[in-house]
């Protein structure tokens, strides 16, 4: 029985997006609370760029400039908690923006980390693309297997139950009308947090103004998001 349990745990960890991201040496940067940015980035790539920029005396812009070659940020999710007019939505985060660099495979890791940090996560309540809808359909399936909890919403505009904590603006597909919560910290998340702290120390030693790091990572994520949106429009 113990061996079977160990095998099950190892299988879950090997299938975890955050565990896979950690195994590739990724770092996670979480910025803000009520409005949170969760960014997965490549710390090794960042350090190499800083070293190169140091030689060229161009350190301050190195993160933004990375979009021209290979962006430091691989994926990200921006969420908000208790958005006015949307309902309480079980108190979790509502996704406002998400994007990943093509081929990075890091999109699921950003969602998983954001779900844990926000204490639950649900889709954009105004509009959800077909591709994003598949992400949430996957979470609905995982809620059946037990590693994720799905909390159903009550229609904010036609509530069926008195308590307002589950009231939320409803979406057009059934599986989008839940707040999804991880039952335990995602494997590899702590390791990626540690990678972030180590990276800050390394680039500070190389002369990078580390107090600007979070702002620069957010800026690069928005550049990636805008680029992906323009691709979708064409």
* pLDDT per residue as tens digits for the range 177-193: 999 999 999 999 999 99
Buried b (16+ CB within 10 A) or exposed e, 125-163: beebeeebbebbeebbebbeeeebebbebbebeeeeeee
Question: Which tens digits make up the pLDDT trace of 1-58?
Answer: 434 333 343 334 447 999 999 999 999 999 998 899 999 999 999 999 999 998 877 8
- d(CA 183, CA 119) in angstroms, rounded, equals 10
- Section 53-78 average pLDDT: 92
Mean pLDDT (the chain) is 90
Task: Determine the Cα–Cα distance for residues 224 and 102; give it in Å rounded to an integer.
Answer: 10
pLDDT above 90: residue 60: no
Q: Which of residues 10 and 143 earns the better pLDDT score?
A: 143
Residue 173 pLDDT greater than 70, yes or no:
yes
What would the pLDDT profile of 104-118 be if each residue is shown by its tens digit? 999 999 999 999 999
Per-residue pLDDT, 191? 98
Strand order in the sheet with 27-31: 27-31, 35-41, 73-81, 93-100, 121-122, 178-182, 148-152
Query: Pick from 229, 221, 212, 201: which is nearest to 66 by CA?
Result: 221
Query: How does residue 232 score in pLDDT terms, banded at 50, 70 and 90?
Result: low
Q: What is the pLDDT of residue 208?
A: 95
* Alpha carbons 170 and 177: distance in angstroms, whole number: 6
Q: Which residue has the higher pLDDT, 5 or 170?
A: 170
Nearest to 172 by CA among 120, 131, 133, 122: 133
């Amino acid at each position: 029985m113990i061996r079977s349990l160990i095998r099950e745990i190892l299988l879950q960890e090997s299938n975890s997006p955050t565990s896979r991201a950690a195994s590739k040496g990724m770092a996670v940067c979480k910025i803000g609370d009520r409005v949170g940015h969760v960014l997965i980035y490549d710390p090794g790539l960042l350090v190499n760029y800083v070293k190169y920029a140091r030689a060229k005396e161009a350190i301050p812009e190195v993160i933004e400039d990375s979009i021209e070659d290979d962006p430091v940020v691989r994926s990200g999710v921006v969420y908000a908690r208790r958005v006015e007019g949307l309902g309480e939505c079980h108190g979790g985060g509502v996704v406002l923006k998400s994007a990943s660099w093509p081929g990075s495979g890091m999109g699921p890791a950003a969602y998983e980390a954001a779900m844990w940090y926000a204490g639950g996560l649900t889709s954009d309540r105004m509009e959800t693309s077909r591709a994003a809808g598949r992400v949430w359909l996957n979470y609905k399936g995982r809620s059946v297997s037990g590693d994720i909890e799905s909390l159903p919403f009550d229609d904010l505009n036609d509530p069926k139950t008195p308590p307002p904590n589950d009231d939320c603006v409803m979406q057009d597909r059934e599986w989008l009308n839940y707040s999804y919560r991880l039952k335990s910290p995602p494997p590899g998340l702590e390791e990626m947090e540690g990678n972030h702290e180590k990276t800050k120390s390394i680039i500070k030693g190389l002369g990078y103004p580390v107090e600007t790091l979070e702002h620069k990572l957010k800026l690069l994520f928005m550049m990636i998001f805008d680029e992906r949106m323009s691709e979708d429009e064409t």
